[in-house]
Amino acid sequence: MSLIPTLTLTRPDDCHLHLRDGEQMRAVLPDTVRRFARAIVMPNLRPAVVTTEMALAYHDRILAALPPGTQFEPLMTLYLTDNTTSTEIILAKNSGAIHGVKYYPAGATTNSAAGVSDIARCYGTLATMEETGMPLLVHGEVTDPEVDVFDKEKIFLERVLVPVTQRFPRLRVVFEHITTSEAVDFVTSASNHIAATITVHHMLLNRNALFQGGIHPHHYCLPVLKRETHRRKLVAAATSGSPKFFLGTDSAPHSRSTKESACGCAGIYTAHAAIELYAEVFEQVGALDKLEAFASFHGADFYRLPRNRDSITLKKESWKAATELEFGGETLVPLRAGESLGWKLIG
């Protein structure tokens, strides 16, 4: 009998993932496929994935890029714009391949220029989403330049999300990559069809990580890292066992040159060690027994998908993350580059 602890889980799903496209997608996809059965794939390509037809074409490009002999189901999303029609929502719903519609406030994050200028313009579309049960996936930050960058999520909640959920009380909503204690409280007390994803980087790092001994572009993402009190609240929510919180890495690859720049891109790459890093967070608070539900059950249940049937196994063994990874002719720097991790994927 081995004395080294192992952890076997139902194979998890990543409910918030950026796969990019082309050669870049081909470079990062194997990391996700090794760990996850399915992922909710974000539509913020250039050009944005605004129609069902574009989403289905992207779906097929992902399948064509899978490493031979592997199984993976991309769960597609549409990119909401001021001009998204109810007809498009119904087409998306009927396709069976599109599982959510992503709301980026215009200018809030990477490739959000084509996003929504004023959510009131989308009320007709939201009504159709409410009727058809199509989830609204939300990047919840205001773009008002007078709002402090660390308050953008909290103010979005007050100004936009609370009013929208009151106006459309049956609308299914995923508040993506939440970072604040206010967001945790809102989701906890909201109705059952309002849920949230939590990234591993927002649970591992507080905002000091941006400035430790100098500026760290590879710790820059949106929403930006928050103070320690918020980090703790996210860990408590993720490990609480509540079905409203589930795994969404928001793994967001950018090349080294676009991150290490005078105006660096937002996004942290975690797909190379995603479930291993979540295991580290859950272990730190003595909640490894809550990891499987958070990673493998709550997201599937929210999206009304069958739970996965196969499993993955992690072993308590130290290994070093690569210092950089190939990224379609360039390189990218993953989280923990060149540093140790305590859990290793073994099958």
230 belongs to an annotated ligand binding site: no
20 belongs to an annotated ligand binding site: yes
- From 65, 219, 223, select the one nearest 154 (Cα to Cα): 223
| Residues composing the chain | 347
CA distances from 223 to 133, 153, 164, 219, 273 (A): 27, 7, 20, 11, 21
Tell whether residue 250 is a contact of Zn ion (CB under 5 A).
yes
Question: In angstroms, how far is the first alpha carbon of the chain from the final one?
Answer: 18
219 belongs to an annotated ligand binding site: no
Tell whether residue 39 is a contact of ligand NCD (CB under 6 A).
no
Tell whether residue 221 is a contact of ligand NCD (CB under 6 A).
yes
Q: What is the per-residue DSSP string for 318-330?
A: EEE--S-EEETTE
Residue with smaller CB distance to ligand NCD, 44 or 52: 44
CA distances from 61 to 19, 26, 66, 74, 329 (A): 11, 10, 9, 10, 19
Q: Which of ligand NCD, Zn ion, none interacts with 247 (beta carbon under 5 to 8 A by kind)?
A: none
Tell whether residue 276 is a contact of Zn ion (CB under 5 A).
no
Tell whether residue 105 is a contact of ligand NCD (CB under 6 A).
no
Q: What is the 3-state secondary structure (H, E, C) of 249-262?
A: CCECCCCHHHHCCC
Q: Which position among 81, 110, 165, 249 is part of the footprint of ligand NCD (CB under 6 A)?
A: 110
Reduce the DSSP state of residue 206 to 3 states and report it.
coil
Q: Tell me which DSSP letter residue 66 carries.
A: S
Q: Are 220 and 263 spatial neighbours (Cβ–Cβ below 8 Å)?
A: no
- Rounded CA-CA distance 240/236 in Å is 6
298 belongs to an annotated ligand binding site: no
Tell whether residue 14 is a contact of Zn ion (CB under 5 A).
no
Residue with smaller CB distance to ligand NCD, 44 or 242: 44
Q: Which position among 24, 32, 44, 52 is part of the footprint of ligand NCD (CB under 6 A)?
A: 44
Tell whether residue 25 is a contact of ligand NCD (CB under 6 A).
no
Please state the closest distance from residue 44 (CB atom) to ligand NCD, in A: 5
- From 232, 105, 214, select the one nearest 164 (Cα to Cα): 105
Q: Which position among 115, 267, 299, 334 is part of the footprint of ligand NCD (CB under 6 A)?
A: 267
Tell whether residue 115 is a contact of ligand NCD (CB under 6 A).
no
Q: Is residue 197 exposed (0-12), middle (13-18) or buried (19+ Cβ within 10 Å)?
A: buried
Tell whether residue 139 is a contact of Zn ion (CB under 5 A).
yes
Say whether 151 is catalytic.
no
291: tokens are: 């990891």
Catalytic residue among 250, 289, 301, 310: 250
Q: Dihedral of the CA atoms 284, 288, 294, 300 (nearest 10)? A: 150
Tell whether residue 18 is a contact of ligand NCD (CB under 6 A).
yes
Residue with smaller CB distance to ligand NCD, 27 or 312: 27
Would you give the binding string for ligand NCD spanning residues 131-160, x where CB under 6 A is met? --------x---------------------
Tell whether residue 226 is a contact of ligand NCD (CB under 6 A).
no
Known binding-site residues equal 16, 18-20, 44, 102, 139, 177, 222, 250, 254, 266
Residues with catalytic annotation? Answer: 250
What residues make contact with ligand NCD under the rule CB under 6 A? 18, 44, 109-110, 139, 221-222, 250, 252, 266-267
What residues make contact with Zn ion under the rule CB under 5 A? 109, 139, 250
